[in-house]
Chain A
Amino acid sequence: MKARSFVAVAILLLASGAFVTSCGSEDKRQVSDSSDKSGEGGAEAQEKNNSGDSGGGGVFPAARATATIKGHVVYDGKLPRRLKTPISGEAFCEKCYPDGAPVSARYEIDQATKGVRWCFVEVLGADTKWKFEPPKDKLKLDQVNCRYAPHALGIMTGQTLVITSSDPIDHNVHFFGKNKPAWTNRIVHKGQLLKVVFKRPANEKYKCDIHGWMNAAVYVRSHTLYAVTDAKGAFTLPKLPAGAYEIKVVHEKWKKGETQTVTIGDGETKDITLKIKK
């Protein structure tokens, strides 16, 4: 029995050795990818051959788009308590906020106007109506003073997102979501560039596990008709052709976002107010 037990232990140790060795070799490959400062790693290049899920009829008629829909997103109901960002455990981060931790990005609501920041406002069904080309310009998601900047952004499938860090300390960039990017979790050093191209529309998230309060919301769509609200809850959608549109608001924390139907004529500007609540 003793001999048999030792054999069993030896087999398991060998198996575990094989596993950890494979893990080690995986790490090496990953490190070599992430050290690519230009960000044009092989993994990213693999993703570039996708063109997104744009479907629908003709190409979006940018020339005929003269109507403007803008407005505000306001919190509906009693304002929630403004929870602070729980910054602790990292000397550099604590030094960045000598006057105390800022309000958590998820709770940034203008107390006077009830305008909600970091809401994503979009034209529903735009991708079934028209086809869109992914914009050539790259979007940047930076990490500044131990927070993501910006906290929320919209991006089109096929468009490139560049993730970087301006902080002198390490952050890890951990992806949560439905897409399957070439990498899901990496350490990013100051100035390092990591590129991501999303394949499918979804509401995705990034998080730093070293500094648990750091998170960012990335709204991936297969069109470009969206906007993110500012500190007053204001937004301006890209110009649209005349017609009737369903405008929807989304927020990572407050789930009940209003959908409003807006009819607009050529050259017209409409100001709307969208409500959102818990």
Chain B
Amino acid sequence: MAQQRRLTLQQGSGTGRTGGWSHPLAFGSALLIFVMIVAGATVTTIGAGDSDPAWSWRFWEWFRSASGGQFYELLHRQIGTVIGFVAIGMVVSLFRNEERRWVRRLGVVALLMTIVQGLLGGLRVQAVSSPAWRDFLCNLLGIGHEGVRMTLAMVHAFNAQLVFCTLVALAVVTSRGWRGGEQPSETSEHTRKTRRLAMWACALIFVQLVLGAYVRHGRVLYPGETAPYYNLVLLLHVCMALGVVGHIFLVNSHTRASHPKIFPVWHLAGLAQFLGMFQLALGAGAWAVTQSGVTPVPWDVAMLVRVLHVGNGAAIFAIFVTLGARSFKLLRLGAPEQAGLPQGGRRTHEVASKHRNRP
């Protein structure tokens, strides 16, 4: 019956299958994960991660009113619970409506990563409040409980970015445009470079996010002190920020010059460039309010700057995941004249002005 249904779906799909709820749920999960990252950044910034020492399977107990830092921590857990259910719904929908096996697999991977992320969050809380877990993890990792706490918090932080990236990719590949038979719009000899640049951007940004997680957690989890090699990692984070923004500029100039007709590709690169500059400013602000110790700004402004820095970093990551995915969908490898598709190439002034004047 299921096979027959799948066959019917495949026959009827062609390029116009609806995909059921897959895309809305994938998009919703990605959006919620983004909100979750911002909420998590707020929790870390105000140091409220341990404001509710209990963490159990009774997740409904988190849906209660709270004040102070506990409000943010419970909000973080509440959003996490909702994401879990939405992700389960997404996978169910994928298995019911999606004929592409790799997309279904990606959905399962996303769900597993979401579950792991929840467990990491729980373990992070238990590593502090439960002596049994604390001692077990200390012995397992061979470090003190502050080190365990920091390690788990870091893994929790960058796994969140991986979950986000996976869900963004799912949202892209389940979108109507992608499913609906969106064909490569351009064959260009620059395609390989565009894809490579996009993937390098993803990798660089991810490393930068890991360094950022160390900088954040290495300071917050040790009140008055910093984690080992903290200053070195901070320096790396700053240097790499300049490198990443430089790379974003490169991607932007390359896509504008090489694929001027492929709006979904170059406009994403342009947006990333804008956000990259904004991120540099936020990073400088975050440094000023935390590291320098000389900038007298209100506490809530300092918090906002640091939270925005994390949220903006995640947004740039998502943009490059989308750009990478779309470069595989919309661009084809090869010489333009062979495929008879619109020719990509160096951008001419005429083309540039045409795009500028586009309604």
Contact = CB atoms under 8 A, between A and B. Distances in A.
Interface of A: 1-2, 5, 8-9, 12-13, 16-17, 19-21, 23-24, 26-27, 30-31, 43, 81, 83, 86, 88-91, 93, 169, 172, 174, 176, 178, 180, 182-187, 205, 207-212, 215, 252-253
Given A20-B56, A23-B56, A212-B47, 4 more contacts: A17-B57, A43-B131, A93-B68, A211-B69
Contact of A209 (B51, B91, B105, B118): B51
A19 B223 CA distance: 30
A26 B132 contact: yes
Contacts of B95: 2
B336 interface: no
B67 interface: yes
- By Cβ-Cβ distance, the 3 closest A-B pairs, closest first, are A20-B57, A86-B299, A24-B56
Contacts of A178: 144
Contacts of B146: 176
A16 B222 contact: no
A43 B132 CA distance: 12
Given A209-B47, A211-B68, A26 B104 contact: no
Interface residues of B, number: 51
Interface of B: 46-58, 67-71, 73, 91, 95, 101, 104-105, 108, 111-112, 115-116, 118-119, 122-123, 126, 128-135, 144-146, 222-224, 296, 299-300
B69 A184 contact: no
Among B47, B49, B118, chain A packs the most CB atoms within 10 A around the CB of: B47
B68 A90 contact: yes
Given A24-B57, A176-B223, A182-B131, A212 B69 contact: yes
Contact of A215 (B73, B131, B133, B223): B223
A12 B104 CA distance: 17
B108 A26 contact: no
B50 A27 contact: no
Task: Specify the main secondary structure of chain A where it touches its partner.
Answer: mixed
7 contacts: A2-B95, A23-B122, A23-B133, A90-B68, A183-B131, A184-B129, A209-B50
A185 B128 contact: yes
A24 B122 CA distance: 11
A185 B52 CA distance: 9
Contact of B299 (A12, A88, A91, A215): A88
A179 to B, nearest CB: 10
A172 B224 contact: no
Given A20-B122, A211-B68, A252-B224, A8 B56 contact: no
Contact of B55 (A27, A169, A212): A27
Given A207-B47, A212-B46, A30 B53 contact: yes
A212 B303 CA distance: 12
B71 A89 contact: yes
